[in-house]
Amino acid sequence: MSNEKSKKEAARWITTAEDDLDSARVLQKNRKFAHACFHAQQAGEKAVKALWYSKDMDPWGHSIAKLIEELATAYSEGHSRLKPLYRKALVLDRFYIPTRYPNGLPDITPDMAFTDEDAVLCIRNAEEIIERVRAQLEI
C-alpha cells in the first residue's frame, strides 16, 4: 500500500471508530448497556487498527490489548504511546463476547448483566484510546 493509500485507509478506520463511539453513547442513553459496551469495544479496536493501517501494516484479531502489544514488535514508538492505555484495552476486551451472546454468561442474557456503570466505563476507555490514536495519526 502506498503512503497515501495507508493514510486513506487509516482515516476510514478512525472515522468508523468514532461512529461506533457515537453509537455507544446513543445506546447507553437508551439503556441498551450491553450493546453500548460492545460498540465502545469496537470503537477502541478500530481506532488501534487505524494506527496499524497508517503505518502500512495489516492488523489481525479483535483484542485491543493484543493489537497494542503486537504493535511493539513492528512500531515501538506507537506502542510506547499506547502502552498507558493497555489496561483500558484489557477492560474493553472483556466486553467483546458476553455483551452479544446469551451463552456467554451463565443463565442470564446480556441485557440482564450489564449496567450503566459498565457502559460509562467502556465509553470513557474508548474515548481515551481514540484520542491517543488520533493524536498519532498523520492523516
pLDDT score recorded for residue 138: 75
Note the pTM of the prediction, 2 decimals: 0.94
Domain parsing of the chain, residue ranges: 3-136
What value does the mean pLDDT of the chain take?
Answer: 93
The CATH number of the structural domain formed by 3-136 is 1.20.120.330
Q: Residue 10 and residue 139: Cα distance in Å, rounded?
A: 8
pLDDT over 60 (residue 79): no
Burial 28-57 (b: 16+ CB within 10 A, else e): beeebbbbbbbbbbbbbbbbbbbbbbbbeb
pLDDT, tens digit (0-9, with 9 covering 90-100), for 36-56: 999 999 999 999 999 999 999
